[in-house]
Structures are given as C-alpha cells and as structure tokens.
Amino acid sequence: MPITDLLERNRKLYGHEVALVEINPAVQEGPRITWREYALVQPTSSTPYRREITWSVFDEKANRVANLLLSRGIQKGQKVAILLMNCLEWLPIYFGILKSGAIAVPLNFRYTADEIEYCVKLADADILFFGPEFIGRVEDIVPHIGSERALFFVGDNCPSFAESYHEAVANCSSSAPKVLIEDTDEAAIYYSSGTTGFPKAILLDHTALLQSARMEAAHHLTTHDDVFLCIPPLYHTGAKMHWFGSLYTGSKAVLLKGNSPKAIFDTVSWERCTIVWLLVPWCQDILTALDRGELRMEDYQLSQWRLMHIGAQPVPPSLIKHWMQYFPNHKYDTNYGLSESTGPGCVHLGIDNIHKVGAIGVPGLGWKCKIVDENDHPVKQGDVGELCVKGPGVMRCYYHDEKATREVLIDNWLHTGDMAMQDPDGFIFLVDRKKDVIITGGENLYPVQIEDFLTAFPKVQDVAVIGLPDKRLGEIAAAIIQIKPDMTCTEEEINEYCMALPRYKRPRKIIFADVPRNPTGKIEKPKLREKYCGVRLVEAQNKA
C-alpha cells in the first residue's frame, strides 16, 4: 500500500489523539518551568512555545494541500519542492503532496540560492513551498526559475513575489482527493548530502517509503504508547524515516527546534519521550554538560526514556560506553543507511547487541548485504571491501543521471562507497568512505579507525582525519582536533597518546580547530581538504 494509507488509517483509529507536537525554545513567551510544573499546567496548542495537532487534523491539513495542488493543475508524477525548517506544517505539506499523486522534493535548509535553483531545476519542480528563513534566497532566484513555478510562502507577512500558503489552503476541501496511488508509484526525490560535491537527486517510490516505516517500527519495537523525539531536519531521510516508526504505529512524535542539552532534557521530561535519535555531536554535548554539572539527572523526568539511537555517521565506542555510565538501562542502536537506501536501517546494530558497539550491525529487516573487492567479487571474511546492500528500499535511480545510476546500481545491488569488513559473528564494521581512504607509503589508512581512537582521549570533543599531500609518502594523515570547552591540550599530549597506535597509523600532523559537520552530523571533509590541502571541488564538473 502507499505510505499515505497509514495517515488515513491513523485518522480513523486515533483521530483525536495527538500526532505531532512542535517545541520551540526560542519563543520567549513560552514557559520557563520545571517538568513537574509543566505536568500540572501543560501549555495548550495555541501557546507559541508549544503547538500540536491530532491525527485527524494532520490528515485534514494534508488533504487541503493535496486539493490546492490539484486546483493548480498539478498532475500525478509532477514535482513539488519543500524548503522549510522543522515545523508543524512540514509533514502535512509533505503528505499533501503525496496524496495529490505528485512527487515531494525536500530541500536542505542550508542550501545557498544557487543550490536551491540547481535542485529545483534538476527535479523539474513546478511548485515550491518555503518558509520565512528563505525569503532572501528565494527572491534571488525568482528571475531564474521562471514565472511558471508557483511559490507558496509558509508564514506570516507573505512577500510580494509569492502566495500565502495559509490563505491558499483555507478554502480548499479537507476531504481526501480522488487520486489513485499505488505502491509502485514514484513518491519522493531526496538529495544526497553533497559532501562529495553538488547533490544528486535520489528517486524513491511508495514501496521504499512503506518498507522504511515497517522496518523502523520493527527494529526499535515501537508501539502506540511510544513518544519519539525528532531533532534532526525533516528534509533528510534520516529524520523522516525514523519518524515513520511513529506513523506506522500511530504514536506521538515531538519536533524540537533546537538541540541544546537542556532543551533535549526538558522536552524528554515534559513530553514523556521514550525514543530519542541523536547525532554524535549532540551526545557529546550532553555528556560534557553532565560531566561538568551543567545538567543534573535528578532535575529531570527521564525514567521513561528507553531507547537512544544514533545514525548518519560512525559512532566511537568510547562515546557509548560513556553514555551507558549515565543511562545504564537504556537500549541502544546504531542505524546505517543512505538516502539511496531510503534512509537508515539497511544495516543496524540491534537493540540487544550493545556488546558489539563499534559495528554498524547486521542486515536490517528485508535487506541483504555483501562486501566486495574492486572487481565486484565477495571478499574473505575479515577482509576490507566495499559494502553493497540490496532490498525493497533501494532507490529507483538518480533522477536525470543514468551514468551515475549505472555506477552504483549493479544487478539491483546498491554500491554504497563505504569500506567495511565483517567479523566471524556476521557483524559489519564500517572502516571508512572509499574516497576518504588515505594511502601513505603504500599502506591504506582508514580515517574512521584513527578518529575513533582519538575521540576516546578525555580532552577531545571532536576529530576528523584527512590526507595531506606528501612528496615522499604520497599522503600523510592529519588530525583536525576540536578540544572540549574550557580545556587546553598540546600537540605533545596528542602524540604521546597516539603512541598506542601502530606507527603507520599515527597522525603525522595535528591541527587544533573546529570540526565542521553538516545538519545530519557528517563531517564535511571536502571543506577541510579545501582549507588544508588546497583541494577545491570543481563546481562545473559537479553540475554537469
């Protein structure tokens, strides 16, 4: 069945129950109270700090969006783009697009005007929904994307070059449109993170989206009584497909606008959140705040929080060991995936396998995996090769890019570009991105292994390892190290700590600086290479 059927089912079964809550700590009118006070005097849906909608209202809003699009001539298979920060309107607009039979095209909120223009044109989007944060960027590209594209502004004080979303949907029917949608219909275009250049457009169908929802609920034993805290951006498959577990079970989810340790603990306490998906930097921030006494466990209601899981990047085992010191009763999972595999879960650790922390895990529900050499032959167990995955969540293609599609989709196997190995128990360990491997003096260095080692050093907040050109060795490993707040560290301390590594794995250069990460938590190594190696991505090649 199409993913939209789940929303309609939830309206029928749980219509008066809360589906989505938006928490915005930046709104000054909001409460500044303890979780105990909050439990007694909970804000209403009209409070700026906190807004909520039921499953019934969610479905009605989606229907209004669908009927708006149909009234503007949108036909099945046409594209509609979304450029919004996380908000209560995001998911109803997304599902309204799907209900109209159109293809939803979420856009990264960090895109520049040029990138927005590029992605809108690449996807052939006919309509763009955008929020107040993007007025300037959208206005800049209006002359270039053509007057034939409709622009709907989601917010107050609509700019003159767009139409008001709220006014446009107000007079549209809240009844479900009569559009036949089938499992195999194309549903969404997601863009790759762009860490290797200009993003590629990844085409997914309804079968892939539904597979992701079933898998998320199964992997994390999600029930109707769970409350999922969603912090990462909804434009990305990671956040969206983890939320699909809530959609599949008809359970409540909370959208938190902000990721400070206090905001996370407040929201977990106030909304009784049971499942929280975090990125590595946010975990590090929470642990640092706890270690320094800036957060105290006894000040919050955290006993109902049963599962913390991480995805989008390699997870240092030392981080999870530190986490379990504060949360010994937590279940934990690592989720691996790509937008090309409909987000997280094609490989996952599993909530009962914390003894294997460091691995990305085993094939997820409905998935197969293999590790191959450069000739596409399976490698021996324990050897390093490229991870390939196969399952119902594999993308249809890279939209408008047959060459790139052929390079990664071979006999329905998705070649991930990630180097991995499998241990005797069948658990897969991510070694590094294929393109990030450093070849020094004929030896392959895998930066993730060095990063995991350095992250365990008590003074290190974050670390990225890249290759620097070297006349003698070809490349040498350089460690860009971000030190924890209010701490000092010397190069001699790092070098002394690295004596525990094999000689060829020790970083030859130490650089103390901030480690840039994108909104999904991935280290932006191209930026580091450009800064420290003079390697600049050729934009024209990436656009071609």
* 342-361: pLDDT as tens digits: 988 999 999 999 889 889 99
Count Cβ atoms within 10 A of the Cβ of residue 136 and give its class: 0-12 exposed, 13-18 middle, 19 or more buried: exposed
Residue 207 Cα distances to 71, 122, 181, 183, angstroms: 27, 23, 11, 5
For the cut 80, the answer to whether the pLDDT of residue 434 exceeds it is: no
Give the helix ranges, DSSP H, for 235-373: 237-249, 261-271, 280-291, 317-326
Phi, psi dihedral angles at 280 (to 5 degrees): -55, -45
Tell me the Ramachandran region of residue 450: left when phi exceeds 0, alpha when psi lies from -120 to 50, beta otherwise: alpha
The pLDDT of residue 543 is 32
Per the CB < 8 A criterion, the answer to whether 119 and 189 are in contact is no
Mean pLDDT of 200-224: 96
| Backbone phi, psi, residue 534, to 5° | 75, 20
By the 8 A CB rule, do 224 and 250 touch?
yes
> Which tokens go with 278?
């975090």
Q: What is the pLDDT of residue 541?
A: 30
Residue 505 is predicted with a pLDDT of 85
Rounded-to-integer distance, Cα 227 and Cα 543, Å: 41
What three-state secondary structure class fits 472? Answer: coil
The predicted model gives 536-544 an average pLDDT of 33
Residue 443 has what pLDDT?
A: 65
Rounded Cα distance between 230 and 51, Å, is 15
Neighbouring-strand partners of residue 11? none
Indicate the pLDDT class of residue 112, thresholds 50, 70 and 90: confident
Angle at 241 between CA 267 and CA 57, to 5 degrees: 65
pLDDT for the residue 93 = 98
Q: Which residue has the higher pLDDT, 449 or 153?
A: 153
Percent of the chain beyond pLDDT 90? 68
Q: How many CB atoms lie within 10 A of CB 250?
A: 20
Digit-coded pLDDT (tens) for 28-81: 554 455 555 555 555 444 455 889 999 999 999 999 999 999 999 999 999 999
For residue 383, is pLDDT > 60?
Answer: yes
Which range scores top for mean pLDDT: 34-48, 163-177, 417-431, 463-477?
163-177
pLDDT the model gives residue 60: 97
In the prediction, which pLDDT does 193 show?
65
The CATH T-level fold of domain 437-543 is GMP Synthetase; Chain A, domain 3 (3.30.300)
Helical spans, DSSP H, in 52-134: 55-71, 90-99, 113-122
The closest of 234, 294, 221 to 264, measured between CA atoms, is 294
Q: From CA 341, how far away is CA 336, in angstroms rounded? A: 10
Which pLDDT does position 540 carry in this prediction? 27
- How many Å apart are CA 67 and CA 100, to the nearest integer? 7
Across the range 77-106, mean pLDDT stands at 97
**C-alpha torsion sign, points 16, 22, 28, 31:** positive
End-to-end alpha carbon distance in the chain = 36
Helices 90-99, 55-71: inter-axial angle, 10-degree rounding: 50
Contact 175, 63 (CB under 8 A): yes
3-class secondary structure, 51: strand
Instruction: Specify the range with the lowest mean pLDDT, choosing from 5-14, 56-65, 514-523.
Output: 514-523
